[in-house]
Amino acid sequence: MAAAKLVSLLLLFVFTTGIFSDAGEEPTSASEIQLDQLNAKIRALESQIDEKSREVKGREELVAVKDNLLHERQDKLSSLETQLSSLRGSSDSVEVLEKAKARATELEKQVEVLRNFLEQKNKEKESTEARRSEAEKS
């Protein structure tokens, strides 16, 4: 932006110098030298403008590359967060499964205790019936 202002000021200066030259000054070798110097300075400034424009374009390209890299990393981060949530869900499922297995084992033990109790009661019943039968026979 500043370079563009500088170029426009130089062009204005050259234009103004040209008007004064046309207004009655005799073209001299000194004025031609000055004009050549100004033209050289304009070319040098235009060259600087071109160089700065290339630098800006290079920086814009670098920013675009960095922006793409940022978006890729954000996408990867989102993917990893999703996977982490899934794994946490799996971890919760594993905990629930382990608790269910522990409860099943506990219930199996209770069933075994009840079977043993039932067998004992059946034996007692059989024993009582056998004694009653014998008592009736005698």
Along the 138 residues of the chain, how does pLDDT read in single tens digits?
Answer: 566 666 666 666 666 655 455 444 555 788 999 999 999 999 999 999 999 999 999 999 999 999 999 999 999 999 999 988 887 777 777 788 888 899 999 999 999 999 999 999 999 999 998 888 888 887
Q: Which domain holds residue 86?
A: 2-137
* C-alpha to C-alpha distance for 113 and 107, rounded to whole angstroms: 10
* C-alpha to C-alpha distance for 60 and 67, rounded to whole angstroms: 10
Q: What is the pLDDT of residue 132?
A: 87
Q: What is the pLDDT of residue 6?
A: 63
Counted domains in the chain: 1
DSSP string spanning 12-38?
Answer: HHHHHHHHHHHTTPPP-HHHHHHHHHH
Residue 123: which residues within 8 A CB-CB, separation 6 or more? none
**13-17, long-range: CB < 8 A, 24+ apart:** 13/38, 14/38, 14/39, 14/42
Residue 34: which residues within 8 A CB-CB, separation 6 or more? 17
Q: What is the pLDDT of residue 23?
A: 46
CB 49 within 8 A of CB 1: no
